[in-house]
Structure 1
Amino acid sequence: MDKIKIVGSYIHNLNMQETLKVVEDSISQGNHLHHVVVNAGKIVEMQKDVQLKQSVNNSDLINADGQAVVWASRVLGKPLKERVAGIDLMENLVELAHQKQYKIFFFGAKEDVLTKVVENYSEKYSPNIIAGYRNGYFNKHDEEQIAVDISNSGANILFVAISSPTKENFLYQNKAILKKVNFIMGVGGSFDVVSGKVKRAPLWMQNAGLEWFYRFIQEPKRMWKRYLVGNSKFIFLLIKEKLGF
């Protein structure tokens, strides 16, 4: 797979359909695939968090979740085909699981959000796609047993809806235990959207690269540092790389 590097982060140059093909082939062949997405904020954090950088760059499949990363790739003269948003990939894979009779384990978020996600997908598709679920609140010493439980659940797909860098590090550090799960992926706050707790930006804002701004105006006190400060740092890093500093 074609891979580029932007500000220290590797990214595979795949569109949504190509990504889905890679994932479907991996599951159908009984292989194991560790997936991760990157956006501007995560790339900024990777500059100072060595463990996060290792967890991301050693993944098997890396997509650009943020439109800012796609724009950055064009500025640097190595354009990515398109943004592959984690939540959109997750939604496509849930539908694929229903079609192919795969099973999914949902891990993360608060208990009420998690149960609503499981309920929504069970009603939309079938309860048969559910291998198991667990909320995202745990102690560090519980991680290994959680990974063992997920591995033994019979899941083909694992979605982890926990904030960074915890989800990336959990998947990377427990990759060997999770080997029986064909596809493992961090999905951040996607469960909040699927449950209806958080509204997703209108399509025109997604296409314009303004999804982050829509999220910001919903929770400005919580999100201002992540988006306004993080995006500014990303632009600075991009300029440095463009100028060869």
Structure 2
Amino acid sequence: MTEPRAERYLFGLRIAPLTLAQAVERADEAISGRTRLLVAVVNAAKIAKLTTDTLLRESLLEADVTLADGQSVVWASRILRQPLPERVAGIDLFEGLLDLAHRKHLGVYLLGARPEVLAQLERAVAERWPGLELSGTRDGYFTDAQSADVAAEIREAQPDMLFLGITTPKKEIFLGTYADELGVPVMHGVGGSFDVLAGVTRRAPRGWQRLGMEWAYRVLQEPRRLWRRYLVTNLAFLALLTKELVRPRPLYPRSAEPNSTTPTELSIPR
């Protein structure tokens, strides 16, 4: 069983000091106990947006565990003397949880991406994890008005894990709104990981990842679309880090403090 470790307080957030293996173990425990584990991951761009994007902030605060998806967040944690053990990239956790689902015959629901990318992802999953149970799939092109119907479809499918390959902040808002209604133990917004696993986009080589330069690798692939976005968010993150060194931001308030000793029980028995 995963040993509890003190949360780190960074940029107004509680971030769990878990390794990838510990995060997967925490998910396994949630599924075994039929309790909710809503996973959030943060990087420099999200932290920069939190100060002005109220919907994103409130949605992230709904998470049961928040992990550092960006290497820059790990480095900042050490500078701020709130050290995190390692980066837990969303795609690495996605693959680790698919390994768990395959090994333990758990149901998985895939929500997100364009229809053709989703079809490629299904083929890639079937090839890499033969026999893995897909409880359902749906592309990510639905309107806000359709969100309740999408949530109802997921609840009806009764998966053990839900992965959302949807952009920020749409995925955080969807989970923040419907997580308690879905009856799914493990929920994880994986962003562009669907595209990577489907083979549509390339992930940065390991060397780039270790140097915290995945963002630069993405810019090289799509310079016109991404250079300004990363320049702005990286500078904003550095400014926030400087402020954090001088005066740490108080924790963003949650609407209701969770009971750390009593996990949220799901409404759908299995």
2:85 maps to which of 81, 92, 102: 81
Shift in Å at residue 128 of structure 1? 4.1
How far 1:154 moved relative to its partner?
2.3
Question: What's the counterpart of residue 115 of structure 2?
Answer: 111
Cα deviations by residue, 1:203-240 (Å, 9 ceiling, x for unpaired): 11111111111111101122123311101100001101
The equivalent of 1:156 in structure 2 is 160
* Contact map agreement 2:43 2:68 (CA 8 A) in 1: yes
For the 8 Å contact 2:30–2:37, the answer to whether it is kept is yes
RMSD of the alignment, in Å? 1.2
Contact 2:108 2:162 in 1 (8 A): yes
C-alpha distance in 2 between matches for 1:80 and 1:203: 20
Contact 2:102 2:131 in 1 (8 A): no
1:82 Cα deviation from its structure 2 partner? 0.5
Which ranges of 4 or more aligned residues in structure 1 deviate by more than 4 Å? Answer: none
Partner of 1:44: 48
Q: Separation in 1 of the partners of 2:80 and 2:233? A: 19
Counterpart contact for 1:161–1:186, Cα < 8 Å:
yes
TM-score, structure 1 normalization = 0.96
Residue 81 (structure 1) shift: 0.6
Flag the structure with higher helix content: 1
Mapping of 1:110-189 within 5 angstroms?
A: 110-178=114-182, 180-189=183-192
- TM-superposed deviation, 1:58: 2.4
Distance 2:90 2:9 in 1: 19
Q: Give the partner amino acid of 1:221.
A: R
Between the two structures, name the one with larger relative contact order (CA 8 Å, sep ≥ 6). 2
1:19 matched residue in structure 2: 23
Equivalent in the alignment of 1:200:
203
Instruction: Specify the alignment match of 1:244 in structure 2.
Output: 247
How many angstroms apart in 2 are the aligned matches of 1:128 and 1:15? 25
Gap change, CA 1:128 and 1:82, over 3 Å in 2: closer
Q: Normalised by the size of structure 2, how large is the TM-score?
A: 0.88
Q: Which amino acid aligns with 2:172?
A: E
| Counterpart contact for 2:101–2:132, Cα < 8 Å | no
* Kept in 2: contact 1:121–1:127 (CA 8 A): no
CA distance in 2 between counterparts of 1:115 and 1:168 reads 23
User: Structure 1 residue 101 and structure 2 residue 105: aligned?
Assistant: yes
Q: Which runs of 5+ in 2 are unaligned?
A: 249-270
- CA distances 1:110-164 after superposition (whole Å, capped 9, x unpaired): 1111111111111222344211100000111100110110111121000001111
1:97 touches 1:103 (CA, 8 Å); kept in 2? yes
Name the SS of the counterpart of 1:36 in structure 2.
Answer: strand
How far off its partner does 1:173 sit? 0.4
Task: State the percentage of identical aligned residues.
Answer: 40
Count of aligned pairs: 244
> What secondary structure, in the 3-state scheme, does the structure 2 residue paired with 1:77 have?
coil
| Structure 1 residue matching 2:157: 3-state secondary structure | coil
